[in-house]
Amino acid sequence: MINYRALILTLFLLLVFAGLSIRLFNIQITNNEYYKLIADRQQNKPQIVNAERGLIKDINGEVLSYTKDNISFFVDTRMMNKQKVDTISSLFAKIFNKNKTYYSRLIENGVKNICLEKKVSMNKALQLKNIFIEGLYYEEDFTRVYPYGSLASHVLGYVDKIEMKGVEGIEKVYDEQLTGTNGYYVFERDVLGRILSVDENLSEAPKPGNNIVLTLSKTYQKILEEELVNGLEKFGGQSASGIIMNPNTGEIYAMANTPDFDPANYEMFPLEIKRNKILTDTYEPGSTMKSISMSILFDKKLVREDEVIYTDNGTYKIKNAKITDTHPHEKLTVHEVLEQSSNVGMAKLSARIDDEDFYKYLRDFGFSNPTSIDLIGEAEGYLKKPDKYSLLTKPFLSFGYEISVTPIQMLTAYSALINGGVIYQPYVLKYVADPSGKILEENKPKRIRSVIDKSTSDLMKKLMVGVVEQGTGTAAQLDDVLVGGKTGTSQKLVDNSYSRSKHNSSFIGFFPADNPKLICLILVDSPEIGKYGGLVAAPIFHDVAKRIVEADLNLVPEKKKIKRDKSIIDQLMADIKSAPVSTSKSYLNIAPSTNNGSTKRFGDINRSIMPDLINYSLRDAIAQLNELGLKYKITGNGKVVMQSIIPGEEISRNDTCYIKCEPNKKLTSVRIK
């Protein structure tokens, strides 16, 4: 009896042991991976907590880029069963307004960990975070947010959506500063994996990244971008670029390219649009280079202000090349060479500059050298060395050919023209601050070198005011603020030859002219209407400057209406004695007006050549255009101050000429170039 009981007990123990062995085999071998996952979630192992990326702000504290803390939800398909799949699918379908089968198929067809919903907003995430279903879990998933959309996109750049690392622009240049230090929490969990407590002694909180404050003004940036868009709509073209800078410090207040892109959805845009052309793309500047060349002549004391230059009625031959002016003159004073943008005058004057001196000055102005602005991708440009000069090099250099520059180089050089002769390094970072606001690093204006004397700079300011008041840049005039600047038009190289239809049209202007606080470059690639810098870029500059003066009341606190007549230049150029200048030859034989005020009668007309309509009355201009068989579009009334087809250019019937008129006032002829 005793042996029987012992046998039963032994058998029972053997069965229990066998059951335990099978269970252990099932846990350790058969379902090892499943139970390992559960164990991992129950153990007190550290969990990485990502640090928040720092803010990017404008000079006035407006946030241009920040990080949003979203939540992404995942399931581990290895821990799913039919009941869990059904419960999770029903729950997510209700919250996210999707079909239940969408989630069930996602889970059933998934392998290991799959994402059910990515970057869920916090209000929806709160509905799910407190629900425990084994195998359902969530992670923080940061999103970089640009609250003003594409504003300043070429400056800000963007971050990789997965790694949250800067890829372009400020996001990349200052990625190390913006990136914080990740932390980790050590949790104590229950048997179901729910968090019971945090071990503060073993945990370390994440440290957010530092904040970047830029020199950009959101207001200036918005105005610049909007007017570039308006300009492209008005004049056509492939693209437009603009920069606004403080000429006395190198601080960039606005920088824009149109078209632009949305940095939050950067992957949807081609590289061509995401490229910051202000830094990466070079162009031949055309007539904006004349101000640089003229300053060299004055700085080397190779010209006098009252000197007369014979401009050969607009045609000058060197070797086998013919240099022409759009508006021919027999002779011009030196300051009129700049005002009327005479290629012939500049070509003749450039012969006075020694080859080595010319090269040295242009290098000192920054051409063929990067400006070292704190953005990536800057091109060096191209400047021919003196030992490579041909007979045509200096003449062509003097009015902006045989040289390639970037827009940022050109604006930096022009800043030296008007700030007393000093090259400053341009920059967009104002300072770096930690999350508490303590400044860790701050940029100060960096003086690079002196290029020209202050007296030369003062004279160039006056001459460039003359360009705007009575030269090629009248479209840039403001009613109550004096502006100086220079227009530029250059033919583009297409398939290694200069195109007659593709141009770069530009204007560089500054204001207030007596004490420049802002300098602005506008560049339009291949405009379809107007073509010339004075007809395309100068009006865009005018609209930008006008809005900035209206928006920033501290910029020009005492504005007063400018009375535009000959005296304004007489006052500005009081120390310049202008020599008498012959008027240019007319393309037409114009009979005197009849006493009864009827339309002028025209004599013999060359119907294949465009006449000069500047200073014609609107009625006379229309009569002439009709007689030529041209189509026309007119804005304004009064006398003609601008025309889109250059005098002397070949025309054909059905061409369209755009005419701008203004009320009668004392104006010298406007010469568009």
The per-residue pLDDT for range 292-309, each reduced to its tens digit, is 999 999 999 999 988 999
Q: Please name the residue ranges forming H helices in 185-259.
A: 218-235
Is 438 inside any structural domain?
Answer: no
In whole angstroms, give the CA distance from residue 89 to residue 101.
7
Is 334 inside any structural domain?
Answer: yes
Instruction: Give the pLDDT band of residue 559 (cuts 50, 70, 90).
Output: confident
Q: Do 242 and 125 lie in a common domain?
A: no
CB of 312 within 8 A of CB of 266?
A: no
Tell me: pLDDT of 101 over 90.
no
What percent of the chain has a predicted confidence (pLDDT) above 90?
Answer: 52
pLDDT top residue among 345 and 652: 345
Tell me: pLDDT of 365 over 50.
yes
Give the distance from CA 278 to its chain's centroid.
Answer: 6
Q: What is the CATH number for 139?
A: 3.90.1310.10
CB of 658 within 8 A of CB of 633?
A: yes
Query: What was the pLDDT predicted at 618?
Result: 75
Instruction: Give the pLDDT band of residue 495 (cuts 50, 70, 90).
Output: confident
pLDDT top residue among 43 and 491: 491
Is 387 inside any structural domain?
Answer: yes
Residue among 357, 327, 356, 365 at smallest CA distance from 343: 327
In whole angstroms, give the CA distance from residue 390 to residue 218.
47
Tell me: pLDDT of 413 over 90.
yes
What integer is the mean pLDDT of 442-446? Answer: 95
What integer is the mean pLDDT of 484-489? Answer: 96
Query: What was the pLDDT predicted at 418?
Result: 96
In whole angstroms, give the CA distance from residue 513 to residue 485.
9
Q: Do 559 and 616 lie in a common domain?
A: no
Tell me: pLDDT of 509 over 80.
yes
Enumerate residues 6+ apart whose C-beta is below 8 A from 641: 474, 614, 615, 660, 661, 662, 667, 670
Q: Please name the residue ranges forming H helices in 198-323.
A: 218-235, 271-274, 277-280, 289-299
In whole angstroms, give the CA distance from residue 589 to residue 591.
7
What integer is the mean pLDDT of 14-41? Answer: 64
Instruction: Give the pLDDT band of residue 659 (cuts 50, 70, 90).
Output: confident
Strands (E), 97-170: 113-120, 136-145, 158-159, 166-168
Query: What was the pLDDT predicted at 471?
Result: 92
Instruction: Give the pLDDT band of residue 566 (cuts 50, 70, 90).
Output: low
pLDDT top residue among 490 and 45: 490
What integer is the mean pLDDT of 507-523? Answer: 95
What tokens does 208 get? 């957010």
What integer is the mean pLDDT of 503-517? Answer: 94
Q: Do 189 and 258 lie in a common domain?
A: no
What integer is the mean pLDDT of 216-231? Answer: 97
Q: Do 539 and 596 lie in a common domain?
A: no
Beta bridge partners of 447: 424
Poorest-pLDDT segment among 5-9, 26-30, 259-263, 515-519: 26-30
Instruction: Give the pLDDT band of residue 95 (cuts 50, 70, 90).
Output: confident
Query: What was the pLDDT predicted at 410?
Result: 98
Is 228 inside any structural domain?
Answer: yes
In whole angstroms, give the CA distance from residue 152 to residue 78.
46
Poorest-pLDDT segment among 77-81, 291-295, 554-558: 77-81
pLDDT digits (tens, 9 = 90+) for 115-169: 888 877 777 777 776 677 777 877 777 889 999 999 999 999 999 988 889 999 9
Q: Do 88 and 154 lie in a common domain?
A: yes
Containing structural domain, residue 670: 586-673
Is 376 inside any structural domain?
Answer: yes
Q: Do 303 and 163 lie in a common domain?
A: no
Tell me: pLDDT of 578 over 50.
no
Poorest-pLDDT segment among 328-332, 379-383, 555-559: 555-559
Query: What was the pLDDT predicted at 198?
Result: 53
Q: What is the CATH number for 241?
A: 3.40.710.10
Averaged pLDDT of the chain: 83
What integer is the mean pLDDT of 261-269? Answer: 94
Residue among 439, 365, 440 at smallest CA distance from 406: 365
Tell me: pLDDT of 421 over 90.
yes
Is 437 inside any structural domain?
Answer: no
Residue 512: cis peptide before it, omega within 30 degrees of 0: yes
Query: What was the pLDDT predicted at 599?
Result: 36
Tell me: pLDDT of 24 over 70.
no
Poorest-pLDDT segment among 226-235, 294-303, 441-450, 664-673: 664-673
What integer is the mean pLDDT of 256-264? Answer: 96
CB of 620 within 8 A of CB of 600?
A: yes
What integer is the mean pLDDT of 334-358? Answer: 94
Query: What was the pLDDT predicted at 37?
Result: 59
The count of structural domains within the chain is 4
pLDDT top residue among 630 and 601: 630
Radius of gyration of the chain (CA): 36
Q: Do 117 and 79 lie in a common domain?
A: yes
pLDDT top residue among 68 and 412: 412
> Within the chain, what is the greatest distance between any pair of CA atoms?
152
Is 82 inside any structural domain?
Answer: yes
Poorest-pLDDT segment among 35-39, 253-257, 294-298: 35-39
Query: What was the pLDDT predicted at 651?
Result: 82
The residue type at 506: S
pLDDT top residue among 328 and 406: 406
Tell me: pLDDT of 97 over 90.
no
Question: Starting at the edge strand that comes first in sequence, how are the strands of the sheet with 239-245 ordered?
Answer: 252-258, 239-245, 518-525, 497-511, 484-494
Q: Do 526 and 617 lie in a common domain?
A: no
Query: What was the pLDDT predicted at 374?
Result: 95
What percent of the chain has a predicted confidence (pLDDT) above 70?
Answer: 84
CB neighbourhood size of 191 (10 A): 7
Tell me: pLDDT of 533 over 90.
yes
Is 577 inside any structural domain?
Answer: no
Q: Do 176 and 251 lie in a common domain?
A: no
Q: Do 129 and 191 lie in a common domain?
A: yes
Q: Do 562 and 642 lie in a common domain?
A: no
CB neighbourhood size of 515 (10 A): 11
Q: Do 208 and 257 lie in a common domain?
A: no
Query: What was the pLDDT predicted at 201?
Result: 67
**DSSP string computed for 563-618:** --SHHHHHHHTTT--PPP-PPPPPSS-BPPPPTT-PPPPB-S--TTB----TT-BH
Instruction: Give the pLDDT band of residue 32 (cuts 50, 70, 90).
Output: low
Query: What was the pLDDT predicted at 474?
Result: 92
